[in-house]
Amino acid sequence: MFSYCTAGIPTFRVLSPLMFYSVLLYIWLLLVAYFNTRDNLIILLGENDDFLTYMFNALMLHAVVVSCCITVLLWLDCPKYVQYLNSWAEFQVTYIETLNTKLSPNCHLLALLGAQYILHISMIRVKLNVYYSEVSEL
């Protein structure tokens, strides 16, 4: 998402491979959340008397609602985030000018592993929903 121009200042690029991957991952997570929410609503509104199942599905719906609210609130805080990125860019330029080396936090592997972990947990959740719905129909 960020690249260095010839002056050494980090710039944001919308059409970068990392941005494309982030958008695809976000769309995938939205689809998984949609299917989970749909299944949970069907169970909640159905004729189910099992309290544990009811509570589990209510908590899952609560998590989806909170995630949607956080997304909107983060969108409203976007100007502060842009201001932070600008101050970070100024810090990086000062760092590069002072030490003649790029600032590298080396957290790419950790971010990739976290994204893959969330993706796999979501896929397991969908598979478990499908399995339990098939078992309950028998």
pLDDT tens for each residue of 23-74: 787 788 778 888 888 887 887 787 767 777 778 878 888 888 887 777 767 7
Q: What is the pLDDT of residue 120?
A: 93
pLDDT at 30: 79
Q: Is residue 94 part of a domain?
A: yes
CB 126 within 8 A of CB 32: yes
Percent helix, strand, coil in the chain (nearest 5)?
A: 80, 5, 20
Would you say residue 85 lies in a domain?
yes
The answer for residues whose C-beta is within 8 angstroms of residue 53's C-beta and 6 or more apart is 43
> What is the total count of domains within the chain?
1
In a domain, 49, yes or no: yes
- The reported pLDDT for the residue numbered 8 is 55
User: What does the block give as tokens for 98?
Assistant: 């002072």
Residue % of the chain over a pLDDT of 90: 5
DSSP class of 14? T
Residues comprising the chain, all counted: 138
Q: pLDDT band at 1, cuts 50/70/90?
A: very low
Q: What is the C-alpha separation between 130 and 8, in angstroms, rounded?
A: 51
- Region 98-113: what's the mean pLDDT? 78
> How many CB atoms lie under 10 A from the CB of residue 66?
10
The answer to whether residue 87 scores a pLDDT higher than 80 is yes
Model confidence band, residue 121 (pLDDT cutoffs 50, 70, 90):
very high
Query: Which pLDDT band holds residue 116 (cuts at 50, 70, 90)?
Result: very high
Average pLDDT over residues 68-90: 75
Do the beta carbons of residue 36 and residue 68 sit within 8 Å? Answer: no
The per-residue pLDDT of the chain, averaged, comes to: 77
Is residue 102 in a domain?
A: yes
Q: Check: CB of residue 83 under 8 Å from CB of residue 91.
A: no
Give the residue numbers spanning the domain of 88: 29-127
The answer to the question of residue 24 being in a domain is: no
Residue 23 lies in a domain: no
